[in-house]
Amino acid sequence: MNSRIMHRLVEQVRRIGHEEMLWSPGDCIVVAVSGGPDSVALLHILHHLAADPELKLRLVCAHVNHGFRGKESDDEAEVVREMARGLGIPFELGVFDVPAYMKETGQGTQLAAREVRYEFLHQVATKYQAASIALAHHADDQAETVLMRILRGSGPSGLAGMRMKRHEKNVELIRPLLRIYKNDLIQMCEKSDIPYVIDSTNLLPKYARNAVRLDVLPFLGQYNSGLTDSLNRLAEVIGVEDDFMQLQAEQAYQELVLVEGGVFTFKLEPFIALHAALQRRLIKLILNYLPLGSEENDFIKIEAIRKGAIQDRPTTWSLDLGSGLRCIREYDTIRFVADAAGSSGLPYTYLVEHFPAEVLVPGTEHCLRFTRNGADMKPVSLDELGDKEAAFDADKLLYPLTVRSRLPGDFMKVIGLNGSKKVKDIFIDAKIPPSSRLQIPMVTDAEGRIIWIPGVRRSAIAVVSEHTSSVLRIVLDTRRFD
């Protein structure tokens, strides 16, 4: 090797690669090379490792010209091309007009450039059937990332910084230099006569990361000369603990959360028994599974859901999550649903004039079956019927009967009460979730009086007695409304 420092860094990266399982023998690795000292150092280090007969790594050098700096960008691309040729490594160049892409998408400089760059790197990885894409982020980059996330108020996952290895699409993104500082990489290039270029935009403080690097870190360094080391240790410690908490959250998810038809549901009793940290993690995991996109204010939503779940009152509420999604508490249940779920459907009315009859309840998989028996019927006990079946004195009913959707102001004459009760209050007393109430039909007689709310309660109308000679039975199928 050309220098002692190169030998040291090669062996350090070899050790990191083995400990973190960044590659396997025979892997093809796409190396993202900008032309700066970090990425050209990475290319040379991996080139030395690739020659190891036990590893036999295959490398591809990939460079992106973002179209920001004209001739400077073109010259930089040629430097990288010549370097790859000298090392005998295949070279792939992506040339893009990122300024035009910014106008098209409305994105800022950094985000637009990143999207274009990563898309190209993935295309190269697919072309060469690569196992991974190697990125040249180093320990100073990690410190900047952690500090930026502290300033944004990130949680533990954010403070863990960049990960040494992360799966994205069909490959691993690996960062073999994440524990190595930039000064060491520059020294390696200079002592080994490895050419590199300086991107002039890295010196512009108008970009947030540059401002942190050029202004914030040096200022804070007055109070802690080892600040960069401290931030890296923070990321290392929190990263491991974050992984552990993620495993706990995934286990809680498997045990508590039910997913049906795109609706995520969990019961409150086992949720409340979790530690607050795990409660937040579980909610965050559910939000990650929902198509919410990037969320900068995750904590506000997560805490609103968590506190709403553990409070005693109110026991029913609804929270708009954005992106057409909503979190709903219904007594002892939390649901994450599409905003349209549970909203009122189209009103319906079905006349029942002949028996037997069967009526499908719109918007559900349930049906009501009507049968009428004569004097040879079996005795009927209201206690035996349960809430899925109702029996009426057929001669005391006014026909035709109607199955209809619920209407505002509906009320029913209830057994045991001298007067009537609002259907809304009946639902509340029975703790019927608001999202289920509009799926429950009303059965009425010819005068519009509600005689039965299937699955909930029957009225005081046409009660079967010892003098009853004909019984009308209405049965709700065995499927539950919830």
Binding residue numbers for ATP: 34-39
Report which of 348, 382, 341 is spatially closest to residue 482, judged by C-alpha positions. 341
Q: Which token pair is 455?
A: 């699955």
What does the alpha-carbon distance between residue 333 and residue 307 come to, in Å, rounded to a whole number? 14
Cα 46–chain centre separation: 35
Q: Identify the CA nearest to 397 among candidates 456, 445, 337.
A: 445
Distance CA 385, CA 464 (A): 12
Q: What's the CA gap between 336 and 327, in Å, rounded?
A: 4
Q: Which of 166, 196, 184 has the alpha carbon at shortest distance from 228?
A: 184
List 318's β-bridge partners, or say none: 328
Query: What does the block give as tokens for 310?
Result: 């553990």
**How far is 49 from 59, CA to CA, in rounded Å?**
10
Q: How far apart, in Å, are the Cα atoms of 247 and each of 243, 254, 268?
A: 6, 11, 21
95, 99, 101, 107: CA torsion to nearest 10: 130
Euclidean distance between CA atoms 294 and 269, whole angstroms: 30
Q: What angle do CA 258, 259, 264 make, to 5 degrees?
A: 85
The backbone region for 438, taken as left when phi is positive above 0, alpha when psi lies in -120 to 50, beta otherwise, is alpha
The residue among 364, 321, 317, 363 whose CA lies nearest residue 339 is: 321
**Does the N-terminal peptide bond of residue 347 adopt cis geometry, omega within 30 degrees of 0?**
no
> 134: which 2 tokens?
């190697």
Distance between CA 324 and CA 291 in Å, rounded? 9
Closest Cα partner for 94 from 57, 133, 58, 41?
133
Smallest CA-to-CA distance from 52 within 14, 91, 9 is with 14
SS3 at position 359? strand
Q: What residues are designated binding site?
A: 34-39
**Residue in 35, 69, 30, 63 with CA at minimum distance from that of residue 46:** 30
d(CA 451, CA 453) in angstroms, rounded, equals: 7
